[in-house]
Amino acid sequence: MIDQLTIDKIMSAAKIEEVVGEYVSLHRRGVNLKGLCPFHSEKTPSFVVSPSKGICHCFGCGKGGNPVNFIMEIEQVNYYEALKMLAKKYGIEVEERELTDEQKAQRSEREALFAANEFARDYFSDILTNNAEGRSVGLTYFRERGINDASIKTFQLGYSLSEKDAFTKEALKKGFSKEYLVKTGLTLDNEFGVVDRFRGRVIYPVQTISGKVVAFGGRILKKSDKLAKYVNSPESEIYHKSDQLYGIYQAKQDIVRNDRCYLVEGYMDVISMHQSGIKNVVASSGTSLTTGQIRLIHRFTNNVTVLYDGDAAGIHASIRGIDMLLAEGMNIKVVSLPDGEDPDSYSQTHNADETVAFLENNAVDFLKFKTQLLMADAGNDPIKRAQLIQDIVKSISVIPDTITRAVYVRECSRMMEIEEAMLFNEIDRIRLNQSTQEQKEAERQRLVEQLKERERKATATTTTTAPEPKKAANPYFREEADLIKFIIRYGALYLFTDEDGSWVSAVDFIKRDLEIDNITFKNTAFQKLFAAAYEHCQSPENCVPYESVFADETSFAKLEDKAAFYANAEVELEKLSRFLFNNSDYEVSQTATNIGIEKYHLSKSQKEQYGQNYHRLRDDLLTLTRALKYKVLLSAISEVKAEIEIADKEHDEQKRKALLEKYQQLNKAKGILYKEKVYIPKNK
């Protein structure tokens, strides 16, 4: 649907660090950038972004790839959707051919749901500003709440008419199918017929981290006993409540900039604080925090400040959720607002500087806060006090960092007037218990993930993940992977010359060498990558002349700028790896990333040996192809052995004789493998 030229344009414009940086807070580590993996839960960063290679990779869960792969995975969209998103980000125009009816029908359900939500968002926002009822009811409400036009635009606020099916009628007229309107929850289809879920409500769209609308919240304006004050979209294929935070899209950059996230409760709290100039604020939307939401925050910062309204009941309820933040290794502070105030009202009556000053001056460490709160509750009641100690110890025990735990023990021991040793003992006991439970939970999670993955693969209309290299099924996996790694790094390098004096690239050499023994890669992903690399290196301009990487000893010694020589060698060698990493075949790019990210390390002394390294590199390659051949032979030998045993049992003399002969041949081949059967073109 998108032509190759445009794809190439997008690929070369997309900078991996910029693309990933929108989702993950990255920190420079040498030539690479590092951050917390957005695909699995972790406390220490193992997600690596390599700007020079144009790829990212998680050493924990193995996910990553080039910018397109990354977007596909994180947004759960197909290849074309991912390309379109990148094109939009980099201002590249995408000329799409008109979709045929059949293609339209094939558009994935996810896309259809997003399209319905996008339409609804635009429709509701249009009603709010341009419709008489929208203005007199919706806009008036926002005005009364002190919300200005800029905020209405930023948060894409809207209004849904009170007429029972005004929205649905319009959507159907515009060609959206009822099925998807119902699945997003925008439309209810019940005994009363078709009804708009959000009729007569102001609308707060819920956006993902990248700004896509996954759900809506609607607040009723008329006083009514029968109707709930707030109505939200139901869970759907695209909306999992527990993974979303209201305001994260508008807040993420400011969270990184301030290295802090303010956590509030409602939509209006977020919008008012944002409007007053404090933009690093998100809401969990009423419910207590989930691990999914915590992970979302943790991608951008370690520091969370929770804002509480004055009333104590709410505080008690949400304390549990905060223990989870502690368990994720985050630093939590708590601010209680003055009696009768909430974040919305406070930021409406104070400017940003005043609010920030108040938040900073009144922020209390969470555990201290919790201890004080519970101590006040317990008073002098010994049973309540014992419970309190248990409770605090539990909170401390989930903190992953030993030193932080020790600091808290000291602090709490002082506040509660209990010996440190006693607290430590109790914590050790709980942690011991936890680790066995965690193991069980991790095992369960792994199973759930596996099942989900299997289900997803079975129902997937588009391939969003490359099949994992099948390690168990392929006895040569290690040897094949080593060869592939060599190809990614040196495949395009002219390492040998043919009899007629023409150059032979490493990948070409491997092909010829393996063909002698009829060996092909068993792993299909490797096969594909190998074919792509071979094809690419058929053009001499894609190959690397050996002079640009190697120099003989005398000329190397004479080189004035050795650093420039190394740098140029690196750039030359990366020609093939970049081609593979950014390959338009998803399986190739994914495999290249998985295998190639473990850098083929050149130590400093190796670099300095560039002059002599030429022969060593050839030897390395021969060792790798031999290793594979050897492994293949060994398994052939053991197969024949097994067959001989069967022939023995069956007393099949003829078969036995033939097999023995084969066995001897194979053994002989094994013996001469290192001498004769390797394809060695004439050496230059």
Helix (H, G, I), strand (E, B) or coil at 451: helix
- Give the CA radius of gyration of the chain: 32
Q: Which stretch binds Zn ion (CB under 5 A): 56-64, 270-278, 531-539, 564-572?
A: 56-64
Please state the closest distance from residue 70 (CB atom) to Zn ion, in A.
12
Q: Which stretch binds Zn ion (CB under 5 A): 52-60, 115-123, 241-249, 379-387?
A: 52-60
Q: Which stretch binds Zn ion (CB under 5 A): 26-34, 53-61, 141-149, 455-463?
A: 53-61
Find tokens 């994260």 and name the residue: 248
Please state the closest distance from residue 56 (CB atom) to Zn ion, in A.
10
Q: Which is nearer to Zn ion, 61 or 407 (CB)?
A: 61
Helix (H) or strand (E) segment spanning residue 215: strand 213-220
Please state the closest distance from residue 36 (CB atom) to Zn ion, in A.
9
Q: Which is nearer to Zn ion, 59 or 141 (CB)?
A: 59
Q: How far apart are CA 498 and CA 481, in angstroms?
A: 26
Sign of CA dihedral 294, 297, 298, 303: negative
Q: Which is nearer to Zn ion, 61 or 92 (CB)?
A: 61
Please state the closest distance from residue 456 (CB atom) to Zn ion, in A.
17
Please state the closest distance from residue 60 (CB atom) to Zn ion, in A.
4
Q: Which is nearer to Zn ion, 42 or 574 (CB)?
A: 42
Find tokens 């053994």 and name the residue: 667
Within residues 276-315, the interface with Zn ion by CB under 5 A covers none
How many CB atoms lie under 10 A from the CB of residue 631? 17
Please state the closest distance from residue 37 (CB atom) to Zn ion, in A.
3
Please state the closest distance from residue 524 (CB atom) to Zn ion, in A.
24
Please state the closest distance from residue 24 (CB atom) to Zn ion, in A.
11
522 is an interface residue for Zn ion by CB under 5 A: no
Q: How far apart are CA 67 and CA 16, in angstroms?
A: 5
Q: Which is nearer to Zn ion, 58 or 510 (CB)?
A: 58
Q: Which is nearer to Zn ion, 129 or 465 (CB)?
A: 465
Q: Which is nearer to Zn ion, 43 or 677 (CB)?
A: 43
Distant-in-sequence, close-in-space partners of 51: CB < 8 Å, separation ≥ 6: 15, 16, 17, 31, 32, 33
58 is an interface residue for Zn ion by CB under 5 A: yes
Q: Are 533 and 580 contacting, i.e. CB atoms less than 8 angstroms apart?
A: yes
Q: Which is nearer to Zn ion, 295 or 511 (CB)?
A: 295
Q: Which stretch binds Zn ion (CB under 5 A): 57-65, 228-236, 603-611, 660-668?
A: 57-65
Please state the closest distance from residue 57 (CB atom) to Zn ion, in A.
9
DSSP 317-383: HHHHHHHHHHHTT-EEEEEEPPTT--HHHHHHHS-HHHHHHHHHHH-EEHHHHHHHHHHHHHTT-HH
Q: Which is nearer to Zn ion, 39 or 503 (CB)?
A: 39
Query: Comparing C-alpha atoms, which of 639, 642, 633 is closest to residue 665?
Result: 633
214 is an interface residue for Zn ion by CB under 5 A: no
Q: Which stretch binds Zn ion (CB under 5 A): 51-59, 261-269, 275-283, 517-525?
A: 51-59
**Number of residues forming the site for Zn ion (CB under 5 A):** 6
Find tokens 């399209």 and name the residue: 115
Please state the closest distance from residue 683 (CB atom) to Zn ion, in A.
45
Q: Which is nearer to Zn ion, 24 or 388 (CB)?
A: 24
**Tokens encoding 19:** 């693309």
Please state the closest distance from residue 453 (CB atom) to Zn ion, in A.
14
- Binding test (CB under 5 A) with Zn ion, winner from 60, 211, 234, 292: 60
Q: Which stretch binds Zn ion (CB under 5 A): 54-62, 182-190, 517-525, 633-641?
A: 54-62
Residue 21 buriedness (CB in 10 A; 0-12 / 13-18 / 19+): middle
Please state the closest distance from residue 62 (CB atom) to Zn ion, in A.
7
Q: How far apart are CA 621 and CA 679, in angstroms?
A: 11
Beta bridge partners of 216: 205
Within residues 18-47, the interface with Zn ion by CB under 5 A covers 37, 39-40
Sign of CA dihedral 268, 270, 275, 276: positive
Q: How far apart are CA 468 and CA 594, in angstroms?
A: 10
Q: Which is nearer to Zn ion, 61 or 195 (CB)?
A: 61
Find tokens 């899209």 and name the residue: 249
Find tokens 């002969």 and name the residue: 661
Distant-in-sequence, close-in-space partners of 158: CB < 8 Å, separation ≥ 6: 121, 123, 124, 125, 126, 127, 128, 138, 202, 203, 205
Q: Which is nearer to Zn ion, 73 or 323 (CB)?
A: 73
Q: How far apart are CA 15 and CA 383, in angstroms?
A: 60
Please state the closest distance from residue 449 (CB atom) to Zn ion, in A.
12
Distant-in-sequence, close-in-space partners of 400: CB < 8 Å, separation ≥ 6: 43, 327, 328, 329
Q: Which is nearer to Zn ion, 56 or 58 (CB)?
A: 58
- Binding test (CB under 5 A) with Zn ion, winner from 13, 61, 602, 644: 61
Interface ranges with Zn ion (CB under 5 A): 37, 39-40, 58, 60-61
